[in-house]
Amino acid sequence: MDNQPTKPTSAAPAVLVLAGLTGAGKTLAIQQLEQLGYTGLEGIPPAQVIPLVEAMRPHHAALAMSLNLHAQEYREQLPELDAWMRAQGIPFLFLEARPSVLLKRLSAHRRPHPHHTGGGLLEAIEQEIRELAPIRQRCTHLLDTSELNSQQLRQQLQALVQGLPQPLNLRLVSFGFKYGIPPEVNLLFDVRFLPNPFFQPHLRHLTGQDRLLQEFLFADPLTQSTYQQIFSLLRAWWPHYRAERRPHLTVAIGCTGGQHRSVALVERLAQDLQPWTLPANGSGLPELNLQVQHCHLLESQRELEACFGAPPAGPSKEQPEDRIPLAGVLSHE
């Protein structure tokens, strides 16, 4: 039943127009909109949108069209279409993603870039970003797909077409200051003042995902108060990011190596935020899409083993009950 297309609600717009960067997910967005009851059309030159809509609207409950803006002549057709869409109250959605994400996606699928004329792929991506910048400014809605999977993209689109608050994509990141601060962080917390398990030989080779290390850290009153303050700030602030239609919020917690303290606090935050990742208010949409990323965990472990040797055999690394489960949290280690 979950894969059956749904019928658009009366509040959903009858027409939705999409534009965006190559690799940002326009085709996937059209597919997800079709699951929401839309008839999808891809790669339409702007000059053809109005006659297509007028011809098809009497026969289809809802239409979703993605634009072909690769050629300069197509981009020059946009102002007339934009004026018509504004007069009709038609949403104009622009899909984008970080250049590094676009580079990874296009490289993985070996897709030719329309602006790839002999230079590097990243150069082509940056050229398209510049050429589509004026069109991006005309759009009524922006959606960054950098951290979205297909289900999360569908949730964002469902929220848009139904006029619901979109789920906030909250990314919790642990890192080590010795390796550098991750890019594109919104909120950063430095926890290097907390008790350091590195100086406890029986904890040194463990990580912040291990129960024994977490018990050591959270037995300390300073760790408890620090965590409560971080959680309280995040709980108080993230609804305002969501209300401002900021699709992404990245919270980074850093310790020295990114293996012990920062990982433990991120894991605890992920657990405590789980209630907001479930559908709320009968809308079928959660308030949060939660992701966990431990940037330097493996790097720190390798460096530690190079200095101190392999970790001793012990139950904490062998028995699953020593690892606190985090069901439903996406982890990129």
pLDDT at 100: 86
As a whole-number percent, the residues of the chain with pLDDT over 90 amount to: 51
Residue 219: pLDDT over 70: yes
- For the ranges 1-10, 21-30, 163-172, 237-246, the one whose mean pLDDT is highest: 21-30
Query: Is residue 325 very low, low, confident or very high in pLDDT (cuts 50, 70, 90)?
Result: very low
How much is the average pLDDT of 267-291?
Answer: 84
pLDDT at 93: 93
Residue 117: pLDDT over 60: yes
pLDDT at 52: 95
Enumerate residues 6+ apart whose C-beta is below 8 A from 265. Answer: 174, 189, 191, 208, 226, 227, 230, 253
Let me know how long the chain is.
Answer: 333
CA atoms within 13 A on the CB side of 114: 14
pTM, two decimal places? 0.63
pLDDT tens column, 221-253: 999 999 999 999 999 999 888 887 676 889 999
Query: Is residue 201 very low, low, confident or very high in pLDDT (cuts 50, 70, 90)?
Result: confident
| Torsion region of 277: left, alpha or beta (phi above 0 gives left; psi -120 to 50 gives alpha) | alpha
How much is the average pLDDT of 1-29?
Answer: 75
Residue 55: pLDDT over 80: yes
